[in-house]
Amino acid sequence: MRITRKLEFSAAHFYHNPNFSADENRRIFGKCNNPHGHGHNYVLEVTVAGEPDPETGMVLDLKELKQILQREVADRMDHKHLNYEVPELAGQIPTCENIATVIWNLLQPKIKQGRLDRVRLYESPELFAEFTADDANGNAAGVRA
Amino acid sequence: MKASLGRRYTFAASHRLHNAKWSAEENRQLYGKCNSPYGHGHNYVLEIAFTGPVAPETGMIANLGDLDPFVQREVIEPFDHKYLNEQIPAFRDVVPTTENLAREIFRRLETFPGAKLERVRIQETSNNSFEYCGE
């Protein structure tokens, strides 16, 4: 059984790799390289897998999951600039792939009932990246948006 | 025959709500997390409505082949993947709330020839939207 909870947050970011020249950055990252940044309404879907507890009928109390998402993700990333204000992303390009991986690493140790199965992060309605239990176990090629 | 035409566009941009006339504390109190110093961002959805007579020869209020490049030039190119506070001159001294964004976009689009701009609606998130009809 899998249960999924959704969280929306708004954040700014831009893509820039200091190892590339200005020209290379522009060529590879296009309009996402604008140094002033731009932003998105991110939609996060977090899926937890497990057997429903026979007493409560729940895999995990969704209220508790909501609190974990608020504390670990919303408090860190909502209304923030991902390049400057999220230490877990320091030194990384804040692509959807990298943010999803950071969110997986933040949430995984906090889920005590059931197990974290999938983190799906939408940057826009047309684009998302996923990090799954298979990725964590090294069984998949990686995360591709 | 008179009718109205609606069209939807999207762009991603960042902004910060901050009024330089007020203290840091006052700004934090009024704008809350939207005052966060480095800005934050949204996928804005822009819906515009034009009214006008339907030309009998074309059956159209406005040709989307003319409207789309006009909106692209006036709004999407200057706003998409930009920081509104620093990259749109109108927001140098005006706080880029979505109310003010709707007014600025209305101002840019009302010059479209041949049909009357009736309404600009901007969805900032899935929970809030703003409409401006030119006063």
pTM: 0.85
Per-residue pLDDT tens for B38-64? 999 999 999 999 999 998 888 899 999
Q: Which two tokens stand for residue A66?
A: 């909501």
Helix, strand, or coil (residue B52): strand
Catalytic member of A8, A24, A38, A79 = A79
Q: How far is B51 from chain A (nearest CA, A)?
A: 29
Task: Look at B14 and A81 and tell me if their CB atoms are within 8 Å.
Answer: yes
- In this structure, CATH architecture of domain A2-136: 2-Layer Sandwich (3.30)
Q: How far apart are CA A30 and CA A15, in angstroms?
A: 9
* A126 Cβ under 8 Å from any chain B Cβ: no
**Which CATH number covers residue B122?**
3.30.479.10
Identify all chain B residues contacting A79, using CB atoms and an 8 Å cutoff.
Answer: 33-34, 36, 40
Q: How far is B44 from chain A (nearest CA, A)?
A: 8
- Could you confirm whether A79 is annotated as catalytic? yes
Task: Look at A37 and B41 and tell me if their CB atoms are within 8 Å.
Answer: yes
- Could you confirm whether A32 is annotated as catalytic? yes
Domain around B17? 2-132
Per-residue pLDDT tens for B74-91? 999 999 999 999 999 999
Q: Domain ranges in chain A? A: 2-136
Provide the percentage of residues in chain A whose pLDDT is more than 70.
Answer: 95
DSSP B72-119: IIIIIHHHTTEEHHHH-GGGSSS---HHHHHHHHHHHHTT-TTSEEEE
Number of domains in chain B: 1
Q: How far is B54 from chain A (nearest CA, A)?
A: 34
Per-residue pLDDT tens for A13-68? 999 999 999 999 999 999 999 999 999 999 999 999 999 988 888 999 989 999 99
Residue of B9, B11, B43, B86 to mutate, testing the A interface (most A Cβ within 10 Å of its Cβ): B43
- Could you confirm whether B25 is annotated as catalytic? no
Give pLDDT, residue B82. 98
Angle at CA A42, nearest 5°, toward A16 and B9?
90
Name the residue among B53, B61, B54, B49 with its Cα closest to residue B117: B49
Q: Give the strands of the sheet with B2-15, arranged side by side.
A: B82-83, B2-15, B40-53, B116-125, B128-132
